[in-house]
Amino acid sequence: MPENRAAIEIDQVVKRFGDGEHAVVALDHVSLSIRENEFFTLLGPSGCGKTTLLRMIAGFEDVSDGDIRLYGDSLTGKLPFQRPVNTVFQSYALFPHLTVAENIAFGLEMRGVARNDIAPRVESMLELVKLTGFARRRPHQLSGGQQQRVALARALAPHPQVLLLDESLSALDLKLRKEMQVELKRLQRETGITFVFVTHDQEEALTMSDRIAVMASGKLQQVGRPEDIYDRPANRFVADFIGETSFLSGLIAGDQLLFGEAGSLPAAVLDSHREGLAAVAVRPERLQIAGNGQGIAGVVSEVVYRGVDTVYTVQLADGQPCRVRKTNSLGAARLAEVGQTVRLTAEPGAFHLLREAAHV
């Protein structure tokens, strides 16, 4: 099969709820291509349209305008059971009266798979999700993580062309959720099935995804690899939604990035260059607290110890707040205390030049 072949093509898709002037537009002319054998994540805050889009791929919602194609074939008019996709829901939706094996076998039976083929398929799925030996247990005898693995095994057993996952890790505790992030990516890699994952959790998206589509107010904001989304956000919304970011207004003049009374940094700290007023974004880990005489000046207003790292909030001399994150090393002293005047420097390319204009 061709490399980077499109598994799903979403073409100018619109979703409206209601009619006339009272209609609510949940998706506004969304277009994107999801590649074969890709872990693709739809990421955004509540109400951004990500779950609506997933439900439209699954066939649980109709398309108001536009088209969704699966390997070139339009899904318009096809009912959910007519689409070669499966969905794992947030609630897992396991049948409580069936055993683990019976839950996994259910979808195969509904599809008319020969009885002699079902048992070996169930056993291979249990091995895939690391639940060998759990076949005779019932859902109430399983932990939350084990129940999620059963839901995954049931969805994967029929070998769907696409697996849709709707906030499927959100019910798990933090430690288990992190473990399942690794497991989900392993399952996707081993099965070769295209995964489309919906989440509002930025760390989850960055950890698992081959590519991410960031959404807001029913529109795509940016589509790209995790490192592109994080390091080169398309706009302020993406920069603010993904990870921690400080937003500053400055003036680019020649080889300097000026911050009024706070001083200046070499323009080399920018990832791109244009003269004039500029809005910039910088990640806390890209800044350093320097010695006297270097960088831009400010006063430490807050220090937060987080175990792995410490975050310093610095109020710049021109009034703008900025955060610095420093990884903690054993026995190392704090870099600064609240009320202390410090200077900040940055590595080349640390400041991302945003499209929006700035005012200083």
pLDDT per position as a tens digit, 273-306: 889 999 999 999 999 998 777 899 999 999 999 9
Q: Where are the alpha helices (DSSP H) in 3-142?
A: 50-58, 100-110, 115-128
**Do residues 40 and 34 make contact, with C-beta atoms less than 8 angstroms apart?**
yes
Lowest mean pLDDT among 7-21, 27-41, 78-92: 78-92
The pLDDT score that the predictor gives to residue 291 is 73
Concatenate the DSSP letters of all residues of 57-97 into one string: HHTSS--SEEEEEETTEE-TT--GGGSSEEEE-TT----TT
Q: Does residue 4 or residue 130 have the better pLDDT?
A: 130
113 falls in which pLDDT band (50, 70, 90)?
confident
Give the model's pLDDT for residue 357. Answer: 41
The residue type of 281 is A
The reported pLDDT for the residue numbered 359 is: 36
Average pLDDT for 60-67 = 95
Q: What is the pTM of this model?
A: 0.88
Lowest pLDDT segment from 20-24, 125-129, 273-277: 20-24
Give the model confidence (pLDDT) of 187-209 as tens digits: 899 999 999 999 999 999 999 99
Percent of all residues in the chain with a pLDDT value above 70, rounded to a whole number: 98
pLDDT attached to residue 180: 83
Q: What is the CA radius of gyration of the chain?
A: 25
Q: CB–CB of 296/344 below 8 Å?
A: yes
Q: Report the pLDDT value the prediction gives residue 134, as an integer from 0 to 100.
A: 93
Nearest C-alpha neighbor of 353 from the set 249, 265, 225, 240: 249
List 282's β-bridge partners, or say none.
Answer: 246, 351
The confidence band for 170, taking pLDDT boundaries of 50, 70 and 90, is confident
pLDDT of residue 1: 39
Region of poorest pLDDT, from 65-69, 113-117, 269-273? 113-117
- pLDDT at position 39: 96
pLDDT tens sequence across 235-277:
999 999 998 999 999 999 999 999 999 999 999 999 998 899 9
- The pLDDT, as a whole number, for residue 110 is 84
